[in-house]
Structure 1
Amino acid sequence: MTSQTNNQSRREFLSSLAMTSGFLAFEPRAFASTSGSERPAGVKICAKPDLYKLQHLSDQAILETYVRVLIDACHYAEGDWRVSAFDPTVGFWGDGVSVGNEGIRALASMALACATLLKYEDVLSAAERREFLETTKSSLRYATATHLTGTQKCTDGKSWGATIQFRGESWQSGMWTGTLAWAAWLIWSSLDPALQQGLERVIAHEADILSHRQPPTGLWSDTKAEENGWEVPCLVLSELLFPIHPHAAAWHEAALEYMMNTLCTEADKRDTSLVDDRPVHEWVRGANLQPDFTLENHNRFHPSYVGCSCYFLTQAAMYYTYGGKAVPQAATHHLMDTWQMFRSITLPWGESAFPQGMDWELHGLPFINLFASLGTRDHDAFAAHMEQRSLQYMRTWQVWGKGSLAFPGSRFGITRHAINAEQMAYGLLAHKLFGPAVAEMSVHEATAQEVGTREHSYVGMVTHRTQKKFASFSWKNKIMGLLIPIGPGHEGNPNFMVPIEDGFVGSFELSPRVDTKVAVVEHSCRETPDGFEAEATLLLNDGQLKQMLRMTSVGNQTVVYEDRVIALADVTVVSERGVPIGIENDEISGGERVVSFDGGHSVFDFKKPQQPIKFSGIWANVDGRLGVVAVAGSGIAYAQASDYSPGIAVYADRLHGSYSNRTRQFKVGEEVARRIVVHFVEVTPGETATLALSCTIKQKPGASTLVFKQPEGTIAEIPLLPDYKQPVRVAQLSNVEKDEGKHDTELRSPIKL
C-alpha cells in the first residue's frame, strides 16, 4: 500500500464518516455555556441531557452495527500501516516490534478484524475487499517472517516467539499466535501455499512449546487464570487447522488442560466428577480463582481479568463450532459459576464496578466478546442486554473519534484500537456462528436480578446492590469505599463515578511529609437487613495517625460514612482530604458537572479546570445524581481534575465531604478529625436540602445514633462510633493558612457532638 493510497483512503474515509454513522443516533456533547464557576442567578438547573440515544436492536441491526464498526476501524487503521524494510510486499500495523502490545499483538488483532469482514460480509466494495485482503496477507507474512523460526527480524532487530525457557519474550506469544491463526483460518483459501506453510511452522512451534509446559496457577495477588486462558486459542486452533499433524493429539490434550486450569478452584483438586473422560482432580493443578469465583490480579480484585479469563473459553467454543467439532466440556469448566459472580458487579450499561480501584483504562476494556457469546450460544438474556448497551456506546465513541476505537483519554493509540477491533470481531462472529441472541431483558429486569448484599471475604470486600445504587467497601489490597448511582432513566448518560483508590477513606498531608501507606489494624463486616456495616481501624502516615471508620449501606439510596482520627504522635497537619468520591467529568460523561449547594450552584467544565472550591452550608448535590450531607467535618469541597488520570484515562474530579487546607498542630491523643457524611443517590438538589434538615443525633449514655429520613420516606437510625474512653482535648489551631477562594473559615459541624 503506497503512501498516496494511504492518504487518499484516509481522506475518503473521514469524508464519508462525517455523513454516515450507521443507524445509531447520538447527541453532540454539550459543554459549559457560561464562563466562570457560577451560573447566573435564576438559571434553572435541568437534568443532564442524554449523550447516547439507545434503542432496542434487532439481530439484523446488531449485525449491521458490528459491520459498520469493523469497516470504519479497518479504514482508520490505515494511518498506522507500515511497509517492512525487508520486503515491499510485507507490512504491519503498529510499530512492528518483537515484544509489547503495539507489535505482533496489534498486527494480529487488526488482521482478525479484516479477516472477519472478508469471511462474512458482502457489503465491502471491490476496492475494500482487495485492500483488506492484501493488507491482511501482508501482515501475516510479516508475522511468519519475523518469528524466531523465520528468516527476518522485527523493527527492533529481534525475533518474536516463545522459547523453551519461556521467559519474557514468550509471555504473550501464544495469545498473539492464536489471534493470527484464527484470522488466517477465516481466509485460508485465499492464502498461497507458501504463506500457509509459514503459518503452520509458526503455529506448530508455539503449540509445541505450550504442550510441553504445565499450566501455572496463582491464587493471591497475581492469578494465572487469564494467562492460561490466552494460551487456549493457539492450542485449539493448531489441532483444528492441522488435524493430521503428528503433534495434533498432544495439542488437543494440552488445550483441555489449559482450559481446565483457567477458572479453577481449590475444590477442583478433590473433585472426582468426570470432565472429558477424566476426573477433574487429574486435570487441575491448583487454584486460580477463590471458592466464590473472585480472583486477584495486579494486587487487587480485578474484574477485567475475570471477564477476559471467561471469554478465552467462549472463544474456544467458537473455534470448535466453526470447525464442525463438538465443544469439549473443559471449555465450560466453571464458566457459568464465574459468570454468575461477574454479573453481580456488572453495571446496567455493561461496564464493571471496580470495588478495589482500576489501573487500566476505565472505559477501554469492553466485555462485548463475552456478552455476545453468552447471549447467543447460552441464550443468557442478561448478557444479551449488556451486549446491546456496550455495542451502542462503543459505536458512538467511535463516531466521536472519527473511526478510532481508542476512546477519549486512551494513551495506547493503535494498540487499544486494534484490541477493541478484535473484540468487535468476536462479537460479530458469535452471531454468525452461534446464531441470533436471545431477547434481551429490560434494564429493570437486569438490575433486579442482581439486587442483594454479598461479602467476598477471600478478596476482602463487601457489596450492596439495589435498584438505584451499587455500594462497596474493601479492607484488603485497596482500602476504599465506592458508591455508584445506577437508577433507571440514565442510560443516555450513565458514566458518573470514578473508583478512586482512597474513596471515602481520604488522606492527610503532614509536615514533614512521611510515608502515606495505609495499614489495616483490624476490620469487621456484617450484613444487615437492608445492606451492610463495615468497620476498620487504620494506621496512616507512617503510623502517626489512627483512623477508626464505619461505612454503612442502608436502604435503596443511602450510604453513611463516619470516622474518627486521632494523633498517635505530635503532628502538624497541613491538609485534610476527607471522604472523597470520584466524579467523572470528561468527554464521555458530557464534559460538565453542576454542583448545587446551600446558597447557589457552580459549574465545572472539564475544558476549563478550576482550583478547588469549598461550599457554604452542610449539603451539596452533583447533577441530581448524588447528594451529600456533612453532619460533621471540615466542610464540603469540589476539586476538579486538570487532565486525564494516568492509567484509568478519565478526568476524575473529587467531591470531598470534609476538606481543609489549614495547618493545624495536634498532640498525642488529640482528635484530628471527626467526619459524619450521609450520601444519597438519585436525588435532586431540593431533595438533598430537605434530607439534610432531617439529620439529627440522638445522645445516649455511652452511645449516639444518627437519625435521618431516607429518600424513600423511611426513618433510618445509624449507630455512631463510640466515644473514646480517654478525654480528648480540643486541638488548638496554629499557623492558620486561610483557604483560597470565597470561603476563608472552617465550616463548623451543624450539630454539636
Structure 2
Amino acid sequence: MEYTPAEAVWNVRPVRWELAAENEMSRRFYGVLLRWIPFAVKQYGVWDGRPECGHFFGGTFWYQADSAHVSAIFAAMSKLGEYDESVAGVPRSELKRMAVSAIRYMGFTHDTGPADCVRAQGVLPYTSGKKWGGRGDGFFMASQNGRSVAAMACAAWLLWDELDGETKRLVQNVTSSYADRWAAEEPRNGVYYDTQCEENAWTAAGISAAMGMFPDHPHQQEWQAGFTNWAMNAVTTYRDRLAYPSGLIDKTNGLKVTTVTFHPDYTSENHAFVHPSYYCAGTNLRAIHAVFALMSGQPVMESALYNNVPLYERTVKIWSQFDGLNIPVQGQDWWYNRQHERQLTHTILNVLGGDPDAARLARSSLDSIERIQASNSIGALLEENGEECVINRDHGQFAKDLEHGSAYDLAVSYLLHVFGGAGACPSEPAELAERLSGVHLYPFGGSVIHRTPSTFTSFTWRNNVMGLSMPAKGVWNVTPLYASYTGTMKLESSGTSPGSLTNESIIRGVEKEQISPYTDGFGAVVEISRGHGDLKQDVAFVALPDGRSVYVERFRVQKACAVREWQTGTIGIRNEHYSAMPELAPGSRTLYMMDGERTFRGFYGREADEVRSFGPVPYVNMDHTIGYLLYGTRGVRYVNRHVYPKWKGVEDILVLNDFGDRTFDQPQTLEPSVIVALPNRTAEETAASYDRTHRYDTGRSDLTVLETEGTFVYASFAESDQTVSVRKAADALGTIDLYDGIQTLDEDSFVWSGTIPGFRAGYCVSRYSVTEAKGPELRLELSVNAGQLLVLNHSSGQAAVTIRDRVTGASYAAVLEAGAFRKYQA
C-alpha cells in the first residue's frame, strides 16, 4: 500500500484504560524503565526529512527496531504508571513528543512512505540512507520487520487519540501493508540448524498489529486467518503435525498445523545448536498479541499460546538457573546477561498461564536486572561502556545497540502485568529447586542434564559437543564455552578447512555415543574424530548424584600430524564486576592450588590478555566456588582475558589439560586424563577431597576406574565387556567403602573385582562400608548385589568386622568364625 496522504483515518479499537491496574511486578518493571529513560533520551536525534520527526540510537538499526522499541516504551510510560520526573529527567510530555516523532520517522521512511524519505546515515551500510519494511527482500529479511511493525503499532495505539491525521495514516499504511503481504502466505517448516519458530512467530506478531487495531477493516477476516496460521505454526512438533488435517484436500475449519519447528523433546536449533534465545522466541514474539488483546478488552487467541506450556515445562523451566536465566547447555553466541529476554518468557507463563514457578523465575530474573542496572551509573541495562563491547562489528552491533531490545522486553512484561494482572503467587525458591532436581534426557536435541538443588550438570553429544558442571551461582561462575571440557586445537593438516567442520574450534558431532541415564545422574561415552581423522578423542562424562562430575578423555593418534594450541579440560570462568552484586560479580577471581594462589582482575579492554601457566598440579579451586581434581594433566593454564573479538561478557578461560604444541610421527595412544569437578567446594574442601579420591591402575588405557567419596566411577572405551580386578594398597586404606561386585580385604590391600560393560560410563554409590576389620591372616570376601551384602571370612581364624550402613547410619558388629558368612540386607 503506497503512501496516500488524503486517505481516510480508519476506525481503531479503543484502548480500555479502565482495565489498567498497577501491581507489585508492574511497578518493578516500570521502575527499571524509569531509570533507563535518561540513557535512552541521550540516544534521541532529530531527522529533518519531514517536520517533527526523530529517531533513537541513530535510527538505522536492523528493521528499524531501535526507534520502534523505544517509541513503544516511551508511549507506555507517557500514558501509564507512577511517573517520577526527578528520576526520568524529562517531563512526561517530552516522552510523548519523542515517541510521536519516532512514529512519524518510521512511517515516512517505511516502504509505504514518500520515495524521497529514507533513513538517516549511520555505521551500517545495509540500512543507512535506505527505506525499511522489506520490499524487495526475501522471506527472512522481509518478514523480520514484524517485530518492529508490532512495536510501532503498540506506540501508536497507546497514543492514537493524540496523533494527527497524517501520522495515523502513516501507521495505517505500515501495519496494513505488512498484514496484507504475509497473511495469505504459508508458514515455514524447519527444526534443524535454523528453526522456523522465530520466523513464524515474528510474522504473526507483525500481522497482529493491523488485526488488533483496525476491527472494521475489510481485510480483518483475512488478517485473523493469517495470524492464526502463523501463530499456531510457531511452536510445533511432529505430533501437532499429525493432529491436524493437512488442508490439502480435507477441511481444516480454520486451524491447521503444516510445520514442524521443534524436536519431539521440545528442543530446537538455531545458529546450528540448541539455543535458549530461539526456542523461547515463539513464546516471546507472540506475546505482543496478548498485550494488544488485553489492553483492548479482547480475548487472547489460543493460537498465540499454542504449546507454550509443554515447551516451558520440558525445557525452559528445567534449564533455568537461580536467577531465571536459561543455562545454554550447547553454548551461547550472544551475551550472557539475557535475563531481560528470559524474564519475558517467565512473565508470559505467569500472567497468561498462571504458573507459580514462572512467577518465581520472573521475579528472580528481575532481581538481577535491577542490580545490573544499579551497577551502571548511566542507567544502562547491559554495559556502562556498551559502545566498546563488540558483538558484530560488520552488522553494527555493540552492546549499546542492543539496549533497546532488552528494554522493550521489559515494557512488554510491564504491559502484560498492567492489563493482565499480577499473575500467580510465586513458588518458593528452595522448593522449586528441589522439584527440578533429577535427570532430564533430550535424545533429539542431543543433551542430557542432571540437576540437584545447588548444581547443574550436562553433556551434549551433537551440535556443540561439550560438558558443563555448574555450581549454585551457575553462569555467573562458569560459562558454557562451545568446547567446554572437550577442548580446542589447530591441526596443520586442516589447512583452510573451517574449524567447525573439522572438530577443532567447535566439535559438531561424534562418531558414536552411548548415553546411560540413571535416576540420579548419568554416564556418557562418545568417540570424536578431530581434524581429517588425525586424532580420535574418546570422552566419558559422568554426573554423580551429589552434583559432582567426572570427565575422562583419551587421544589416539591415527597418523603422523602436528597439533598446535592443543588444550582440553577448558572451563569458562565469568569474571564480571557489578558493584551492586558483589557476591556474583566481584571483579576478580582467585585460583587456588597446592602451593599458593593467584588473583585475576576482570575487565574489558584497556590491557592485553594475561596468560599464566602452572604446569601439572594435583588440583585447583576457583574462588572457593568450584574445585577440580586432576589426574594425568599435562599442565594448567589460566587466560585472564581482556581482549575479545566478540563480547559475551567478561570471561576468562581455565585450561586444566594444556598439551601446547605436539608433533607425532606415527600412530600411538596417549595416556588418559581425568578431571573430577567439585561444585560449591572451597579450596580446603578440594584438597580434602583429593585425599579421599583414588584412581585405580587398571593396566589399560581404555578403562578408567575411580573411587571418590563413597562413589565408584568407571569409564570404558573398550568395545566389549571387561572383567577386571583393581587394587588399593594398605597405606591407602581407612574406612573401606563397598560397591556392587566382589571385594576382598586383607592386611595389605583392598581389591575390587567385577565386570565393566564395554563403551559405557557410569557409577555406583556405596551402601555399605567396613569401618573395622581384625583377625589373624585377615582375608575377607565382601560381595554386594542389589542392596545385599554377603561377608565371607577366608581368614585363618576369627575375624571381627564392623559394617556401617551409609544410608541409615546404623553400624553392625560381628565376629565370624573361619569359613563363616553373614548377610546384610538394605
| Amino acid corresponding to residue 393 of structure 1 in structure 2 | S
| Structure 1 range deviating more: 155-164 or 561-570 | 155-164
**Correspondence list, 1:634-653, <5 A:** 634-644=634-644, 646-647=646-647, 649-653=648-652
**Residues 140-193 of structure 1 deviation map (CA, whole Å, 9 limit, x = unaligned):** 011111111111222233221133764565132222111111111112112122
* 2:217 equivalent to 1:241: no
CA distance in 1, matches of 2:163, 2:194: 40
Distance in 2 separating the partners of 1:564 and 1:413: 40
Equivalences for residues 419-434 of structure 1 within 5 A: 419-434=405-420
Q: Provide closer, same or farther for how the CA distance between residues 453 and 197 of structure 1 changes in structure 2, counting only shifts above 3 A.
A: same
Alignment of 1:41-190 (within 5 A): 60-97=23-60, 100-101=61-62, 104-125=64-85, 128-151=91-114, 152-155=117-120, 156-163=128-135, 166-167=138-139, 169-190=141-162
1:414, 1:687 → 2: CA distance?
A: 42
- The 8 Å contact of residues 114 and 132 in structure 1, kept in 2 or not, is answered as yes
* Alignment correspondent of 1:613: 613
Which residue of 1 is the match for residue 190 of structure 2? Answer: 218
Residues 1:440 and 2:440 are matched in the alignment:
no
Contact 2:493 2:532 in 1 (8 A): no
In the TM superposition, what is the alpha-carbon distance from 1:125 to its structure 2 partner? 4.1
How does the TM-score come out when normalised to structure 1?
A: 0.82
List aligned pairs for 1:326-337, cutoff 5 A.
326-337=299-310
- Choose from 470, 477, 480 the match for 1:496: 477
Question: Which shifted more, 409-418 or 462-471?
Answer: 409-418
8 A contact 1:615–1:637 mirrored in 2 = yes
Counterpart amino acid of 2:539?
L
Does 2:506 align with 1:508?
no
> Take 1:665 and 1:154, find their aligned partners in 2: how far apart are those partners?
56
Aligned length: 654
Residues 314, 169 of structure 1: CA spacing in aligned structure 2 closer, same or farther, 3 A cutoff? Answer: closer
Q: Which has the larger radius of gyration?
A: 2
Do the aligned residues in 1 keep the contact of 2:244 with 2:256 (CA within 8 Å)? no
**Which one of the candidate residues 319, 323, 335 is aligned to 2:292?**
319
Aligned-pair CA distance for 1:71:
1.9
Distance 1:206 1:562 in 2: 54
- Residue 389 of structure 1 aligns to which amino acid in structure 2? S
Aligned partner of 1:361 in structure 2 is: 335
* 2: CA distance, partners of 1:362 / 1:570: 40
Check 1:530–1:668 CA distance in 2 against 1; reply closer, same or farther (3 A cut).
farther
The 1:482/1:577 distance shift into structure 2, 3 A limit, reads same
> Which residue in 1 is equivalent to 2:668?
670
Question: Taking structure 1 as reference, are residues 273 and 656 closer, same or farther at Cα in structure 2, changes over 3 Å only?
Answer: same
- In 2, distance between residues paired with 1:723 and 1:684? 39
For 1:552, give the aligned amino acid.
Answer: V
Match of 1:388 among 328, 347, 363: 363
Aligned partners of 1:482 and 1:320: how far apart in 2?
41
Deviations 1:38-76 (A, max 9, x none): xxxxxxxxxxxxxxxxxxxxx855333322221222221
Out of 517-526 and 198-207, give the one that drifted further. 517-526
User: Which residue is 1:5 aligned to?
Assistant: none
Task: Indicate the residue corresponding to 1:403 in structure 2.
Answer: 379
Q: 1:343 to 1:475 in 2, by over 3 A?
A: same
Separation of aligned partners in 2, 1:388 and 1:349: 8
Partners of 1:162 and 1:206 within 8 A in 2: no
Q: Residue 620 of structure 1: CA displacement?
A: 0.6
Range 456-465 or range 121-130, more displaced: 121-130
Match of 1:415 among 398, 401, 404: 401
SS at 1:235 equivalent: helix
Matches of 2:541 and 2:684 in 1, distance apart?
Answer: 25
d(CA) in 1 for partners of 2:168, 2:91: 23
Cα offset for 1:694? 2.0
Q: Secondary structure at the match of 2:686?
A: helix
| Amino acid in structure 2 at the alignment position of 1:525 | I
Change (3 A) 1:189 1:282: closer
Contact preservation (8 Å) 1:453, 1:527: yes
Shift of 1:235: 1.8
Counterpart in the other structure of 2:633: 633
More strand by share: 2
Contact 1:572 1:666 in 2 (8 A): yes
Aligned-partner Cα distance in 1 for 2:533–2:715? 27
Matches of 1:724 and 1:613 in 2, distance apart?
39
Residue matched to 1:601 = 597
Counterparts of 2:102 and 2:336, CA distance in 1:
30
2:725 aligned partner: none
- Check whether the contact 1:562–1:721 (CA below 8 A) recurs between aligned residues: no
How big is the shift at 1:78? 1.8
Q: Residue 554 of structure 2 aligns to a residue in which SS?
A: strand
Greater shift in the superposed pair: 637-646 or 185-194: 637-646
Q: Distance in 2 between matches of 1:253 and 1:574?
A: 57
Instruction: Determine the structure 1 residue equivalent to 2:543.
Output: 553
% identity of equivalent residues: 23
1:659-738 map, 5 Å: 659-661=658-660, 663-699=661-697, 704-710=703-709, 714-722=710-718
Q: 2:227 aligns with which of 229, 252, 255?
A: 255
Q: Contact 2:147–2:285 at 8 Å: present in 1 too? A: no
**Distance (whole Å) between structure 1 residues aligned to residue 181 and residue 139 of structure 2:** 12
CA apart distance, 1:340: 0.8
Q: Which amino acid aligns with 1:659?
A: D
User: Are the equivalent residues in 2 in contact too, given 1:557–1:682 (CA < 8 A)?
Assistant: no
Change over 3 Å in CA distance of 1:350–1:641 after alignment to 2: same
Query: CA 1:413–1:162 in 2, change beyond 3 Å: closer, same or farther?
Result: same
The 3-state SS of whatever aligns with 1:566 is strand
The 3 A distance-change label for structure 1 pair 554 and 263 is same
Q: Which residue of 2 aligns with 1:16?
A: none
Matching residue of 2:467? 481
Aligned to 1:456: 442
Q: Unaligned 5+ residue runs, structure 1?
A: 1-58, 726-753
Confirm or deny: 8 A CA contact 2:694 2:708 kept in the other structure: no
Deviation per CA, 1:260-315, whole angstroms, max 9, x where unpaired? Answer: 1000112222214999x985995111201111111011110011112222122333
Task: Tell me by how many angstroms 1:673 deviates.
Answer: 4.9
1:387 alignment partner, SS class? helix
> 1 CA distance for matches of 2:489 and 2:183?
52
For 1:230, the equivalent position in structure 2 comes to 202
How far is the alpha carbon of 1:590 from its aligned partner?
A: 2.1
User: 1:218-246 CA deviation, whole Å, 9 max, x = no partner?
Assistant: 12111110111112222223122111111
Output one character per residue of 1:723-743: Cα deviation in whole Å (capped at 9) or x when no partner.
999xxxxxxxxxxxxxxxxxx
Q: CA RMSD in A?
A: 2.7
User: Which piece of structure 1 moves more, 122-131 or 700-709?
Assistant: 700-709
Match of 1:374, SS state, is helix
- AA aligned to 1:333 is Y
Given that 1:619 and 1:636 are in contact with CA atoms closer than 8 Å, whether structure 2 keeps it comes out as: no
- Could you say if the C-alpha distance between residues 704 and 144 of structure 1 is closer, same or farther in structure 2, counting changes exceeding 3 Å? closer
Q: CA deviation at 1:638?
A: 2.2
* Distance of 2:642 and 2:82 partners within structure 1: 46
Residue identity matched to 1:153: V
- Alpha-carbon contact 1:644-1:650 (below 8 Å) kept: no
How far does residue 88 in structure 1 lie from its aligned partner after superposition?
4.5
Letter in 2 for 1:558: R
Q: Which residue of structure 1 lines up, in the alignment, with residue 800 of structure 2?
A: none
